[in-house]
Amino acid sequence: MTIKAILFDYVGTLVQPRSYSMERSKTKLHRALCAAGLDTEIDEFMDAYAKAHEKYRVVRHEQLKEVTNAIWVSEALCNANCAVTADDSRLKAGLNVFFQDFVGTLELRPNAKQLLAKASENFKIALVSNFTYAPAIYMSLRKLGIDSYFNAVVISEAVGWRKPHETIFNQALRMLRVRADQAVFVGDSPREDIEGAKSVGLLTVFVSSGFNSLKDLEECGVKPDFVVQGLAELLDKLPELLTLA
């Protein structure tokens, strides 16, 4: 079967954050919320945020149901005696501030842009990302100058399910109008990317990253179809990989 499409994971695989501070972003979020009229004491808010975040982290990682940040931020505010609903427009404004630093610290991994440019010459390209706030991903794609390479961008917040759930992979395949046996998935997470993609019949390429090493892959016991050390190796092997099925 001829390969027609390549699906990529995002953070870890194509991009990596550099010197990102979650605590600093949370402080900026609190300041932005207070400025918007959602006023709370910072210590009370931080404690409520931590509890709400952990509550929904369990839902996200154990049930694979994606939960957007607005859900747990609004719950944290309510628990800090500031009643608000998740669809309040002031939350979106605060979350845009919250993610500014994260987007600003993202940088392309070596050879990422060259790989996307080469692959997009002959294949449909999709991005499939676990992320709780889709606007941050779109913002970063534009900032890094790679948005034009993708025929489809599929983010867990919009789908409602996280990798390794099959729904998010199938959504990408539908958008690209290809079957699973006509596509390859490239990712750095043994469970979310490789195990998830294999479960729907995709060929898989594991690329080691700062988040997941070859040792992590070995310990996980998941067997990808191909393993590469970095994107330069994948770029070199692209013609070979895409003739296999």
SS3 227: strand
Q: Do residues 77 and 147 both lie within one domain?
A: no
pLDDT bin (cut points 50, 70, 90) of residue 244 is low
What does the pLDDT look like over 28-59, one tens digit per residue? 999 999 999 999 999 999 999 999 999 999 99
Q: What is the pLDDT of residue 74?
A: 98
The whole-number pLDDT of residue 103 equals: 96
Mean pLDDT of 158-180: 98
Domain end: 104, 137, 171, which one? 104
Number of domains in the chain: 2
CB-based burial label for 28 (10 Å; 0-12, 13-18, 19+):
middle
> Which of 79, 104, 129 delimits the end of a domain?
104
244 contact partners, CB below 8 Å, separation of at least 6 = 3, 203, 225
Last residue of a domain, one of 54, 72, 104: 104
Q: Which domain holds residue 68?
A: 22-104
> To the nearest whole percent, how much of the chain has pLDDT over 70?
98
Nearest to 207 by CA among 234, 180, 239, 170: 234
Identify the helix (H) or strand (E) that includes residue 203: strand 203-207
CA dist 219 → 86, 212, 216 (Å): 39, 11, 5
Of the chain, the percentage scoring pLDDT greater than 90 comes to 94
pLDDT bracket for residue 242 (50, 70, 90): low
